[in-house]
Amino acid sequence: MPNNKYAFFNGAIVPIEQAQVSVMTNALNYGTGCFEGIRGYWVPEESQLFVFHLRAHMERLHRSCRILYMQLPYSVDELCAITLELLRREAFQEDVYIRPLVYKSDPAISVQMNGLKDAFTLFAIGFGQYIAGSAVRACVSSWRRIDDNIIPSRAKASGAYINSALAKTEALLNGYDEAIVLGSDGQVAEASSANLFIVRNGALVTPPLTSDVLEGITRQVVAQLAQDQLGLKVVERPIDRTELYVADEAFFCGTGVELKPIVEIDRRTVGSGAVGPVAGQLMQLYSDAVHGRIPAYRPWCTPVYEA
């Protein structure tokens, strides 16, 4: 059960029981909303909770709103301040997941984005691993990825995640941990809710943003860590489905999943069938970065509590 006590709702921090919407809310009926997922990491040796790339997430939320004809009544700075104040009120001393949400709040049976009121809410919960285990088994889904001229992946639109839920559900029912979704062109896009990298011939390869993938913040972090710390070449290019089967390594990355190696795809072993050297090193680097242990990347971490 969630362990949070509060939410930011209707302009104030209120007890979570008061953060309620009507069954007639437009966003509930039509998925007319957009959101972010942000992680905070508890560092006991510093008695500090660090929020990872807080500002970058709130900037992306503003971009999603722009795409979806939504008006967010708070600036990026204000959103960051609201987040920190809520976390302080909760007094978390554990890893957390933060969910800001902008949604069409009118009780309107109307399929449109314009002319409806927008509302903002935010809550946080204690949160561990999104996918259990040290590595995952994945399958290529029969469901295709929505493309930019249908529902843009560049916006984290609430209703778009039906596409993700169908792919993930299919994977779970077939005995896998996660799904890999192809785009309308048949090329690899991403997982149900994570970006994807493969390792081939000593380079780190990921689908380009034009392959209908989310402009992942963790995706960019992983690419920078690979270049800065491991000296790896990072290549953005289309990936064929069969290239997944011959990759030296493969892994997912995202705020929720963090960095999770893939050891099997469509019942084919990836590489040696164990966590590969590149993924292993990047997992450690990512963990060190989000916990504020690498001085060069310490600015990515926003402290919640006063020193």
In 3D space, the residue among 208, 209, 282 whose CA is nearest the CA of residue 252 turns out to be 282
What is the three-class DSSP state of 39?
strand
Residue 1 has pLDDT above 90, yes or no: no
The pLDDT, as a whole number, for residue 253 is 98
Please, which residues have CB within 8 angstroms of residue 263's CB and are 6 or more apart in sequence?
Answer: 135, 136, 137, 269, 270, 271, 273, 274, 275
Residue 299 has pLDDT above 90, yes or no: yes
**Predicted confidence (pLDDT) per residue in 90-113, tens digit:** 999 999 999 999 999 999 999 999
Read off the pLDDT of each residue in 78-91 and give the average, rounded to a whole number: 98
Residue 213 has pLDDT above 80, yes or no: yes
Length of the chain: 307
Residue 306 has pLDDT above 90, yes or no: no
The pLDDT, as a whole number, for residue 9 is 98
Mean pLDDT, the chain, as a whole number? 97
Please, which residues have CB within 8 angstroms of residue 153's CB and are 6 or more apart in sequence?
Answer: 145, 146, 147, 160, 189, 212, 213, 214
Annotated catalytic residue within 156, 168, 233, 260: 156
In 3D space, the residue among 25, 142, 118 whose CA is nearest the CA of residue 64 turns out to be 118
Helix axes 277-290, 217-230, angle to 10 degrees: 110
Residue 275 has pLDDT above 80, yes or no: yes
Read off the pLDDT of each residue in 169-185 and give the average, rounded to a whole number: 97
Cα separation, 33 vs 175, whole angstroms: 31
C-alpha distances in Å from residue 168, one per residue of 174, 187, 204: 10, 18, 25
Instruction: Look at 116-120, 129-133, 149-153 and tell me which has the smallest mean pLDDT.
Output: 129-133
Contact 102, 33 (CB under 8 A): yes
Max Cα distance, the chain (Å): 55
Helix axes 76-90, 54-67, angle to 10 degrees: 130
The pLDDT, as a whole number, for residue 182 is 98
Residue with the larger pLDDT of the pair 65 and 132: 65
The CATH number assigned to the domain with range 6-126 reads 3.30.470.10
In 3D space, the residue among 91, 70, 82, 66 whose CA is nearest the CA of residue 122 turns out to be 82
The pLDDT, as a whole number, for residue 305 is 97
Is 104 tagged catalytic? no
The pLDDT, as a whole number, for residue 80 is 98
Place of tokens 């554990």: 94
pLDDT band at residue 261 using 50, 70 and 90 as cut-offs = very high
Contact 15, 5 (CB under 8 A): yes
Residue 307 has pLDDT above 90, yes or no: no
The pTM score is: 0.96
Read off the pLDDT of each residue in 188-206 and give the average, rounded to a whole number: 97
pLDDT band at residue 2 using 50, 70 and 90 as cut-offs = confident
Read off the pLDDT of each residue in 277-305 and give the average, rounded to a whole number: 98
pLDDT band at residue 3 using 50, 70 and 90 as cut-offs = confident
**Predicted confidence (pLDDT) per residue in 156-170, tens digit:** 999 999 999 999 999
Query: Domain spans of the chain?
Result: 6-126, 136-290
**Predicted confidence (pLDDT) per residue in 47-61, tens digit:** 999 999 999 999 999
End-to-end CA distance of the chain: 31
Residue 214 has pLDDT above 80, yes or no: yes
Contact 156, 214 (CB under 8 A): yes
pLDDT band at residue 119 using 50, 70 and 90 as cut-offs = very high
Q: Which CATH architecture fits 136-290?
A: Alpha-Beta Barrel (3.20)
What does the block give as tokens for 304? 């919640």
In 3D space, the residue among 260, 263, 223 whose CA is nearest the CA of residue 244 turns out to be 263
The pLDDT, as a whole number, for residue 202 is 93
In 3D space, the residue among 230, 210, 206 whose CA is nearest the CA of residue 220 turns out to be 206
Contact 137, 96 (CB under 8 A): no
For 229, phi and psi rounded to 5 degrees? Answer: -95, -30
